[in-house]
Structure 1
Amino acid sequence: MSESTRPRRRGRLARSTAALAVLLGLASYVAVHQMTGSKGAPRCSVGSGENRYEFTPEQASNAATISAVGTTRGLPERAVTIALATALQESALRNIEHGDRDSLGLFQQRPSQGWGTPAQIMDPVYASGKFYAGLEKVPGYSRLPLTVAAQKVQRSGFPQAYAKHEPDATLLSAALTGRSPAALTCTTGRAEGPPGDPAVFRAELVRAFGAKAAPKAVTGGPSAGRSAAEPVVLAVPVRAAKGTGSAPGAGSDERRGWELAQWAVARADTLRVVEVGYGGRVWRAGEADGGWSKSAGPLAAGGESVRVRLAQ
Structure 2
Amino acid sequence: MTTPTSTPRSGATRPEENRVRTPVRRVPLRYRVPWKKIVVYTLAAFFALYLVLPFYWIFAMSFMREVDAIAVPPNWIPPHPTLDNYLSFLRPDDSQALVGGRAIRETPFALGNSMIVATATALLNLVLAVPAAYSFSRLRFTGGKLLLIGYLITRMVPSIAIIIPFYLMIRSLGLLDTYWALIMSYLTFSLPVTIWVLKDFFRAVPRELEDAARVDRCGWFRTMWSVFLPVAAPGLVAAAVFSFMTAWSEFMFALFMTSTEAAKTMPVVAANFATDMNTQFTLMAAAGVVAVVPPLILVLIFQRLIVQGMAAGSVKG
Q: Return the TM-score normalized by structure 1.
A: 0.24
Larger radius of gyration: 2
Greater strand fraction, Structure 1 or Structure 2:
1
Higher relative contact order (CA 8 A, sep 6+): 2
